[in-house]
Amino acid sequence: MQYLERIPFCKNLLAKKLLKLMDDKKTNLALSADVTQSEKLLALADTIGPEICVLKTHVDILEDFNEKFLIELRKIADKHQFLIFEDRKFADIGNTVKHQYQNGIYQIAEWADIINAYILPGPGIIKGLAEVGLKKNRGLLLIAELSSEGNFTDAIYAEKTLEMAEQFPEFVFGFISQHKLNDDPQWIYMTPGVNLATENDSLGQQYVTPDKAIKENGADIIIVGRGIIAAKNPLDEARKYREAGWRAYKTLSS
Ligand code: S5P
């Protein structure tokens, strides 16, 4: 199905917005902007912004995090029309994640459209995050499968994650996964561990190509980090991934 055809099936409002902007901008590329300086992150967001549907952050790796940075990032996101995904991977009980989401130094709920979480603590984690995020029209991705070697996210774990998502479709709108879990058009699958040039790193990361992620494994959005940000010319590289991702989607949906 094409992105626009899936919109009526989504119960989460942000998912509708995301599918619409992917179609408008003609991109299914997410940039993982894993840098440690805020100026560098802002420069990447501004340069690569026109190429992407989502910018993924790890805000806790910034050495110079400050409020001005957040205001600037939000401005750039609005200018280039992409969503911000803070890859916080929440994993605690409901009451704790609620605070981690809305309080502390980062106040993630104030600026991140998308967050993600593990189901390990049970449904309370989703309820806690939803108490904060639903009224702000945010969305949650559940981590169903990891890309790294030796991980514990087997088929049973992924199936349990899907079952949990089905209980909270107003807030959960998809998965971080390596494979599509079923054909329900409301779920958006985001796949990290994508690289055109290499198959792994020295710390267990495992990569597939955009083509494999989308055509064989059913990803909707490819998440690319070092494949773009470590390149000599990140913008040129981002365009390559964008083109590869879009071509794969078009082949499948036409
Ligand atoms: O299974 C996963 C889940 C995530 S969110 N594997 C991952 O690599 N990630 C994240 O995607 C990881 O935290 C990093 O930010 C990004 C991959 O970066 P790359 O440089 O390896 O492309």
Protein residue whose Cα sits closest to atom 6 of ligand 1: 147
d(CA 28, CA 22): 6
Residue nearest to atom 13 of ligand 1 (CA): 87
Q: Quick one: pLDDT at residue 137? A: 98
Number of domains in the chain: 1
Distance CA 50, CA 55 (A): 11
Pocket perturbation via mutation, ligand 1, pick of 29, 34, 201, 221 by most ligand atoms within 8 A of CB: 34
In whole angstroms, give the CA distance from residue 247 to residue 215. Answer: 10
Residues 6+ apart with CB under 8 A from 65: 38, 59, 105, 106
- How many angstroms is it from 193 CA to the middle of ligand 1? 6
Length of the chain: 254
Rounded distance from Cα 205 to ligand 1 centre (Å): 8
Of 221, 57, 233, which Cα lies nearest the Cα of 244? 221
146 lines ligand 1 (CB under 6 A): yes
Q: With a 6 A CB cut-off, is 174 part of the ligand 1 pocket?
A: no
For position 156, what pLDDT does the model report?
98
Q: Which two tokens stand for residue 112?
A: 């991140």
Output the pLDDT for position 205: 97
Could you tell me if the CB of 223 is within 6 A of ligand 1? yes
Q: Which of 17, 26, 40, 89 is catalytic?
A: 89
Residue numbers of the chain with a pLDDT score lower than 70:
none
Residue with the smallest CA separation from ligand 1 atom 18 is: 225
Nearest Cα residue to atom 7 of ligand 1: 192
Look-up of token digits 């390990």: 120
pTM beyond 0.95, yes or no:
yes
Look at residues 81, 157, 86 and name the one whose alpha carbon lies nearest to residue 115: 86
Q: What are phi and psi of 247, to 5 degrees?
A: -60, -45
Q: Which domain CATH number covers 202?
A: 3.20.20.70
pLDDT of residue 122: 98
Does residue 89 have an active-site annotation?
Answer: yes
Domain that holds residue 214: 3-253
CB 11 within 8 A of CB 188: no
The 10s digit of each residue's pLDDT in 54-63 is 999 999 999 9
Pocket of ligand 1 contains residue 115 by CB under 6 Å:
no
**What integer pLDDT is reported at residue 253 of this predicted model?**
85
- pLDDT at position 254 is 78
Q: Return the best residue to mutate from 90, 154, 223 for the ligand 1 pocket (most ligand atoms within 8 A of CB).
A: 223
In the reported structure, the alpha carbon of residue 87 is separated from the centroid of ligand 1 by a whole-number distance in angstroms of 9
Alpha helices in 35-180 (DSSP H): 38-48, 67-80, 94-102, 124-133, 155-167
- For ligand 1, whether the C-beta of 144 sits within 6 Å is no
